[in-house]
Amino acid sequence: MTSSNNTRPAQPERAGRDPRSAADTYQVGNRVALEHTSDPHTRLRPGDEGTVRRYDADQRVLDVEWDSGSRLSMLLGEGDRVRRLRQAGWQRVLDALREAGAEAGRNAAEWWAQDTIGGRARGDVAATAREVLTEIEAATGRDIDGLPVSDRDDVASGRARYAEHAPPGAPEWEDLTGAQRDQARWAWCDGFDGTVEVGAARQCRIVLHPDGDDRDLRHVYPERVRLGGPGVFAGDWAWAPNGAGEMRIPVGFVGTLVDTWNGWAVFICTREVAEAIVADQQTARDRYRLQLAAEGVTGERLDRIVDESMGRLWFDGDVIVADETRVHDDPDAIERITPDADGRYVVMGRAWTWLPVHPYDCDRIAGHIPDPPSAA
């Protein structure tokens, strides 16, 4: 028999058994598994697990919060049986300490970001963010200069954290073995250090990505781009100094690598990205035209020099027209680039020297970088 509340009257003791023996001592927070119950209405089954919330040793009524959501109490004096899950109970203690460390790590990462790459930082925050992110992603196992890290050997702090964060029903610190004290101390440290790195990496990505994208983009780093996979692409000519004199790529273009040509990348992209490539080419032509005009070049000579240096791109409906007749001094050097069945384009794929580039080297990224493939 079982009870769903704690009002059941005391049951007669069984001969030869003390209802308050050590075998029947339960503490709040103990984990138990059902072995048997005679309740005909419950959906609980042998093996179901739960957490002890209260134990009346006199009446031998064990209140359990079952993982399934049931609150059915066990009447141990009338034949209901459970078994303790000692290891699972200790694991719950470690999980609670690890989560407490993780919460502290999240806060520490936020403060670190404000001081190092955020509003209170000085100097080149992008360079700092790039350096820290590179160290985190390298996973060298060594401490990263300036990043908060726990002291795994600080026993006094470990004891204080255990007292504050161990869940109800956990054994006292003094009752732990030496190995358990180490496990408890390191669980908090694991939660702290791991979350600090995750949080710091996220903050670095926000600083480095032109649109503040905090996702992990390692799958599109140049060294990881593979045939059939995504990447960010730019021409080998694209690097230019910014206002601070740093060599940057004004625009990177998202696409899928479909081939290589003399060592250069051939990628396919959406209409949105193709339009950005066409616009970027026109911007480059306009910039070169202004440079020549500032040097005194005018008229037909100005048009000829620009056309001989850079081809013209424009859309004719859904077709991209690439005119490089003056670049190659060939009247037939006109290409019409049509989209595939999915509306995607290979823009000058086997004519221009494209290559995969690092997304954080770009001041702007045209197109949406897909999420990394989920681990199967």
The pTM (predicted TM-score) of the whole model is 0.71
The reply to whether 375 falls in a domain is: no
- Please give the tally of structural domains in the chain: 3
Determine how β-strand 61-66 pairs with β-strand 73-75: antiparallel
What is the separation of C-alpha 85 from the centre of its chain, rounded to a whole number of angstroms?
33
Helix, strand, coil percent values for the chain (each to nearest 5): 40, 20, 40
- Quick one: 188 and 255 in the same domain? no
Q: Are residues 96 and 73 in the same domain?
A: no
pLDDT at 21: 46
Please indicate, yes or no, whether residues 360 and 223 belong to a single structural domain of this protein: yes
Burial 245-255 (b: 16+ CB within 10 A, else e): eeebbbbbbbb
Environment class of residue 269 by beta-carbon count within 10 Å: exposed (0-12), middle (13-18) or buried (19+)?
buried
According to the model, what pLDDT value does residue 144 have?
Answer: 80
Query: Does residue 20 sit within a domain?
Result: yes
Residue 371 lies in a domain: no
**pLDDT the model gives residue 210:** 93
Indicate whether 41 and 157 sit together in one domain. no
Measured between alpha carbons, how far is 209 from 222 in angstroms, rounded to an integer?
15
In a domain, 33, yes or no: yes
* 161's tokens: 């954290």
Is residue 179 located within the same domain as residue 245? no
Give domain status of residue 73, yes or no: yes
Residues 6+ apart with CB under 8 A from 221: 358, 359
**Residue 373 falls within a domain, yes or no?**
no
* Structural domain includes residue 34: yes
Domain boundary among 84, 102, 129: 84
Instruction: For residues 276 and 304, state if they share a domain.
Output: yes
Residue 281's domain comprises 219-366
As given in the structure block, the two tokens for residue 303 are: 């048009």
Last residue of a domain, one of 84, 109, 129: 84
Are 95 and 130 part of one and the same domain?
yes
- Beta-bridged to residue 255, according to DSSP, are 231
Choosing from 45, 64, 84, the residue where a domain stops is 84
Phi, psi (deg, nearest 5) at residue 218: -60, -25
User: Six-digit token pair at 307?
Assistant: 């056309």
Cα distance between residue 234 and residue 243, in whole Å: 20
Please indicate, yes or no, whether residues 57 and 102 belong to a single structural domain of this protein: no
> Which regions of the chain does DSSP assign to beta strands (E)?
2-3, 31-36, 49-56, 61-66, 73-75, 81-84, 230-235, 240-241, 247-248, 252-261, 264-268, 312-316, 319-323, 334-337, 354-356, 365-366
Does 251 lie in the same domain as 139?
Answer: no
Classify residue 229 as exposed, middle or buried by CB count within 10 Å of its CB (0-12, 13-18, 19+).
middle
Q: Which residues contact 192 (CB under 8 A, 6 or more apart)?
A: 101, 102, 104, 105, 108, 148, 150
* 141 and 79, same domain (yes or no): no
Give a yes or no: residue 138 inside a domain. yes
Question: What pLDDT is attached to residue 138?
Answer: 86
Pair 253, 323 in one domain: yes
CATH number where 37 lies? 2.30.30
Residue 289 Cα distances to 203, 327, 328, 334, angstroms: 40, 15, 19, 22
Task: Tell me the C-alpha distance between 128 and 115, whole Å.
Answer: 12
Residues 129 and 198 in one domain: yes
Low-confidence ranges of the chain (pLDDT < 50): 1-2, 4-22, 88, 375-376
